[in-house]
Amino acid sequence: MLSAFACIGFVSFLLGVFGTNPERAWQAYLINFLLWSSIAQGGLLFSALMHVTKARWSYPLSALSESFAAFFPISFVLFLLLFLGSDHIFPWLHHDLHGKEVWLNLPFLFSRNFIALLILYGIGLVYLYYALWFRKDRIAPKGRIGAMLLERWARNNRDEQWRRDRMSLFAVLYIGAFALVLTLIALDLVMSMEPHWVSTLFGPYYFVKAFYIGLGALIILASIRYLSLGEQSGLSSSQFHDVGKLFFAFCLLWGDFFYCQLVVIWYGNIPEETSFIIQRVMILPWRDLAWTVFGLAFLVPFLILINRRIKTRPLLMIILCSIVIFGIWLENLLLLGPALNPTANSLPLGFWDGLISLGFLGLMAMALTGFFAIFPPSALAGAREGN
């Protein structure tokens, strides 16, 4: 089933690329690359943050969040494929950039993002390696990868304190790299679509959003597991309540960054900045989309999560987090769409966009199930000594 989703998305993307509107296919590709990569990056960040803060309540959730690192290699390959569609996803190509050509040129752009993602994903995978070591007595890794890990762990006779220190080091490094690399991605793959628009808050806005939807995806994964296994999953209603409060907090933080960015640009009244906002919040067809994004990604979760009991209901949280993630998908369209479709009279959104998105969903689900096939989730729920 999951491979079928991925195949449907791949075939739909190819049909779009070789069809009459290849720019629409590449637009959907970029939107989904940004969304699903952010989910994976933000998902692993939860474990790193919980380890650094020594939050013992989060042990089973941290173990689940580490599974999102399985998407890192896929995300890296998907980034490399973006180069093939550069003519369709970078509207500033072959235009006068008034001196910004030093920064906005394809060789330099892809080189720096290549290195940045390589560093981020490398640190994340090393952190995952040490996180799994502290559960080595509870897990029996399967397959070739599992056998290689067991052999390496058996050969390495470093003491536990050394490993704990290394795990803490890479947790801190991942947190720092997460903020820096996602800021760079925000500047190069989102803000650069409007090369004369600038915002010093856009980088933090972007990586806060990544953690927001990463938490949403983690809650969905944990809820599915709890609904399947009940208390045997190692999860409890109190843990759902705690992670629900964290999700609610980042809903507020994302909304605050959204508001601060809007207000500063509005009151600054600098044409290069206000034109970006006016086009997206006051001019059709983007105006209605802007209000939809605000409602789905902020207003709906804000009003619902005020209720304490909702946070402890896994099925309701699956629905709510899915709404938020869909709202952020639309927000990516809102940010990128006007630059990629400057003459659009209607939203550049259709059936093929949904199929391509389904393919990315299939890739994420395949990465997670592949991870759990090697590291059984029943063992992952155990307390981790590294914390």
Domain ranges of the chain: 2-380
pLDDT at 344 over 80: no
The mean per-residue pLDDT over the stretch 197-206 comes to 87
pLDDT tens, residue by residue, 230-255: 777 778 888 899 999 999 999 999 98
Mean pLDDT of the chain: 86
Residue type, 101: E
Q: What is the pLDDT of residue 387?
A: 44
Q: Which residue has the higher pLDDT, 204 or 274?
A: 204
Cβ-proximal residues to 12 (8 Å cutoff; 6+ apart), any chain? 25, 352, 355, 356, 359
Give the span between the Cα atoms of 115 and 184, in whole angstroms. Answer: 11
Q: What is the pLDDT of residue 138?
A: 62
The mean per-residue pLDDT over the stretch 44-52 comes to 94
Beta strands in 175-254 (DSSP E): none
**In terms of Cα–Cα distance, which of 122, 103, 220 is closest to 173?**
122
pLDDT at 265 over 90: no
**In terms of Cα–Cα distance, which of 153, 152, 163, 156 is closest to 127?**
163
Q: What is the pLDDT of residue 103?
A: 80
Residue type, 367: A
Cβ-proximal residues to 323 (8 Å cutoff; 6+ apart), any chain? 296, 300, 301
pLDDT at 385 over 50: no
Q: Which residue has the higher pLDDT, 383 or 86?
A: 86
Say whether 317 sits in a helix, a strand or coil: helix
pLDDT at 157 over 90: no
The mean per-residue pLDDT over the stretch 194-215 comes to 90
Q: What is the pLDDT of residue 220?
A: 95
Give the span between the Cα atoms of 184 and 182, in whole angstroms. Answer: 5
As a whole-number percent, the residues of the chain with pLDDT over 90 amount to 46
Of the candidate ranges 87-96, 124-133, 208-217, the one whose mean pLDDT is the lowest: 87-96
The mean per-residue pLDDT over the stretch 320-346 comes to 90
pLDDT at 56 over 60: yes
pLDDT tens, residue by residue, 76-125: 999 999 998 888 888 888 777 777 777 888 889 999 999 999 999 999 99
Q: What is the pLDDT of residue 21?
A: 85
CB 208 within 8 A of CB 41: no
Give the span between the Cα atoms of 242 and 174, in whole angstroms. Answer: 23
Q: Which residue has the higher pLDDT, 345 or 311?
A: 311
Helices vs. strands in the chain: H and E counts, helices first = 16, 0
Give the span between the Cα atoms of 197 and 98, in whole angstroms. Answer: 13
CB 276 within 8 A of CB 201: no
Q: Which residue has the higher pLDDT, 381 or 180?
A: 180
Q: What are phi and psi of 316, to 5 degrees?
A: -65, -35
Q: Which residue has the higher pLDDT, 2 or 49?
A: 49
Q: How confident is the model at residue 153 (pLDDT cuts 50, 70, 90)?
A: low
Residue type, 97: L
pLDDT at 350 over 90: no
Cβ-proximal residues to 38 (8 Å cutoff; 6+ apart), any chain? 182, 209, 210, 213, 214
DSSP string, 143-159: HHHHHHHHHHHHH----
Q: Which residue has the higher pLDDT, 152 or 224?
A: 224
Beta strands in the chain (DSSP E): none
The mean per-residue pLDDT over the stretch 162-175 comes to 88
**In terms of Cα–Cα distance, which of 72, 89, 66 is closest to 332?**
89
pLDDT tens, residue by residue, 266-309: 777 777 778 888 888 888 888 899 999 999 999 999 999 998 88
Burial 136-153 (b: 16+ CB within 10 A, else e): eebbebeeeebeebeeeb
Residue type, 112: R
